[in-house]
Amino acid sequence: MVIVFALMKSACCDFLLILYICNMHIRTYQAADADALAAIFFQAIHQIARKYYSKEQVFAWCPQMPDPEKYHEKASDGRIFLVAADGGNAPLAYV
């Protein structure tokens, strides 16, 4: 079980927010993750960031679903690419 934290900024201070407790683990990238990571990126921008940015800004940032092959290329080039996965090993987030 992992407790997920996020550092949030407000106008006056920083504070730590406990987001949720779930059955997940952190692991290295696997080639089969590419489709899910592209979808996570797209959904984060079009669902979450959309609350804070205009439609025009969101579509300039990410006009369409990214190519999963690009994720695979980046994750396979030697950089550290970590994935938070659920109990069934499906990606939930990445860094």
Report yes or no: 17 and 10 within 8 Å, Cβ to Cβ. no
Query: Residue 86: what pLDDT?
Result: 86
**Would the pLDDT of 71 be above 90?**
no
Predicted TM-score of the model (pTM): 0.72
Which residue reads 């205009």 in tokens? 54
Q: Which residues contact 37 (CB under 8 A, 6 or more apart)?
A: 29, 68, 71, 75, 83, 91, 94
More confident residue, 26 or 19: 26
Q: What is the dihedral of CA 24, 25, 28, 33, to 10 degrees?
A: -10
pLDDT at 30: 94
The whole-number average pLDDT for the span 37-56 is 89
Task: Output the pLDDT for position 63.
Answer: 93
Q: Which tokens belong to 34?
A: 């590419």
Model confidence band, residue 15 (pLDDT cutoffs 50, 70, 90):
very low
Residue 80 CA to residue 4 CA, distance in Å, equals 20
